[in-house]
Amino acid sequence: MSQTPQEPSNPYGDRPAYEPPAYQQPDYSAPQQAITPAQERTLGAVAHGAPLVAMVLSAGLLGFVGSLVIYYMYRDRGPFVRQHAANSLNVQIITGIVLLVSFPLMLVLIGFVTYPLALVYAFVMHLLGAIKANNGEWWNPPLTPRFVR
């Protein structure tokens, strides 16, 4: 005797079985909402203050992290924040280049002069940048090439 396979009966009658809804990817490309001028001034000052603190705590080696984080988080929020964050990042890039060049120059003792000079330059530029940003002034640091715009 051969048995023919029977289709399982649907306990819900004529309705189809439950099908979960298709997964939809969240929309991360939504534009960021604009911020107020006061918030832009504060974030511009933070863009210079965060690397200043990080630079002091890490002997100049991790100052770029604060600049980079502020730049990527707030660059689309307003032109004032973008410019000050880019200026902060540019100061950190030129400081990093001088610090990297200072290491091999320490073999001929010149690096022991250039290393602290680079840190003092970055300290002064970030301090001036934070003051200018807090006052709402547009500012480009002197002696700093514009790698990031």
Per residue in 67-109, pLDDT tens? Answer: 888 888 888 888 888 899 999 999 999 998 998 999 999 899 9
- Ordered alpha helix ranges (H), the chain: 37-57, 63-74, 79-105, 111-134
Distance between CA 106 and CA 120 in Å, rounded? 17
Residue in the block written with tokens 């001028």: 37
In this prediction, residue 5 carries a pLDDT of 62
Q: Residue 64 — pLDDT band, cuts 50, 70, 90?
A: confident
pTM of the model: 0.73
